[in-house]
Amino acid sequence: MDYKKKYRQWRDDLFFDVATRRELIELRDEEEIKDRFYCDLTFGTGGLRGVMGAGTNRMNKYTVGKVTLGLGNYLLDSYGEEACKSRGVVIGYDTRNHSDFFAKIAANVLSSIGIRVYLHSHARPVPQLSFSVKFWNALAGVMITASHNSKEYNGYKVYDEYGCQLVLHQAEQVITYVDAITDYQMIRFCGDESLISMADVTDNFVIAVLKQSRCDDCAAKADLKIVYTPLHGTGTVPVQKALRLDGFVQVDTVAEQSIPDGNYHTVISPNPEDPHALALGIAQAERTGADLVLGTDPDCDRVGIAVRGREGKFHQMTGNQVGALLIKFLLTNSDMGQYLHPAVIKTVVTSDLGANIAGKHGVTVFSTLTGFKFIGERITQFQQAKQKGRENQAYDFLFGYEESCGYLAGIHAGDKDAVVSCLLISEMAAEIKAKGKTLLDEMEAIYSEYGYYRDALDSFTEENIDDPKKISSKMAQLRLMDSPFKETESVTDFLHPVAAEPGFGFLPVSDVLKYRLKDGSWIAVRPSGTEPKIKIYYSVKGKDMAEAERKLEGFRNTMRITLSI
């Protein structure tokens, strides 16, 4: 069926509700109609994500219903009716526009086919959804969120029974069932209320987070002054509760950003990596004399921080820097004797600095593809290996992180957790302050010992590469040529099988190229998984920061010339 027929069907068929048909009747732009109906919004390895609105290529009641029915049929075939009715599915949602509505749609569709649902009673973080799946011993979890995308978007993430996002082989199975839903009228939107329970395990989640505490210096924690902003998202309750119960008594929130708001009216982008996202928090910290600014994204799985330097100015720190600091803090403040085989997990586009710290302390470091779901998968493999007595895979998970400000300590969740991250970052800052230093001083000490690392990310979205086919062409072009960088030691193409650590086979194939240089620097190139852009990651090592900066500028120029952008 071509897009015009699909459009007319949605516009005219009384199966679709009045609001949907009215929205489509009012459309006049032919290109807009085509964009809404030329394809179906795809359920991929990261779940579902798209602009909200009427149409097959939009996030709406019907596309969410279709994916949910496919997921439900998959669960029924995989686990059986009895398990689906007893163990069920947990559904959570963030503060994004219509997230609560889509969560209720998902609950109704699952319950209509006999699957029990635990529906979060309030907007809560992604890691709390992951925790809830384990807490309720559920078969799966659904989280309605589009993370830090702009207000027009929403999304749908699926978690397995271990609280981890689906990885490729799992997603492919679900996709088969979703694709089998060929008629939206197969979906029943009237749920079975007897199978839907409203659930709130916030207190249980916070208790689990507090078990990761590494600092018992009450005076140091009471002395630290924190400004926290949830950026209009889900972190407000659990982050403040965790910090308060841990002994942090000087926590100010950014009032205007503590209000749930799917329009994110105070920020251009609610992304803690964005230098502007913490602007209001930093301004408040400057007025109040705070030491530390914490900002979590709307679904509260990532956190950005800014630290007051000795000169009084606030400095935002990168995900790679915070990850390295947290590894040192955890290794210094943990009873390492309790771990037989301690492990840290990072992604292939995360700096080697944290890995070098872990390695020096005898901790095994694992590298996964980009996406925390792969870190979660490895954690699950560690746990299953212990249960089954497979010694070659039985590692003790200590910490996992990625360069985009996502961290996890503990196994209470199977996804990155900004709540536990806020707790540990605050404890780390308190401990350092008690010694008369700042996290910036601690970072400088790490650089002095391990070398200076300058990390950066370029995302190219100019018109000449904003088409997916052009992006594929650019990647193919890079594969056909020799490395554009002098002193290249090796080039790894993840489209070919790349061995994981011993005992774990091979990494899944992925459209990533990584150039490793003889000086310890590396450059990685990959297409974005959610947007039409090319991402270039730089991890540059120098004898001092000035040299690292000079090298970075040279590498950036080389890539611009190579890609002709």
Active site residues per annotation: 147
Q: Quick check: 115 and 108 in contact, CB under 8 A?
A: no
CB under 8 Å to 301, separation ≥6 — which residues? 125, 126, 127, 147, 372, 406, 415, 416, 417, 418
> Which tokens is 105 given?
């749609």
Q: Is 237 helix (H, G, I), strand (E, B) or coil?
A: helix
User: CA-to-CA distance for 271 and 269, rounded, in angstroms?
Assistant: 5
Quick count: other Cβ atoms within 10 Å of Cβ 39? 13
**How many Cα atoms are found within 13 Å in the side-chain-facing hemisphere of 549?**
3
Largest alpha-carbon pair distance within the chain? Answer: 70
Q: Is 210 exposed, middle or buried (0-12, 13-18, 19+ CB in 10 A)?
A: middle
Query: 3-class SS at 109?
Result: helix
3-class SS of residue 18? helix
E-assigned strand segments in 348-416: 364-368, 396-402, 406-408
* Contacts with 126 (C-beta within 8 Å, 6 or more apart), sequence order: 92, 94, 143, 145, 157, 299, 300, 301, 415, 416, 417
The answer to whether 157 and 371 are in contact (CB under 8 A) is no
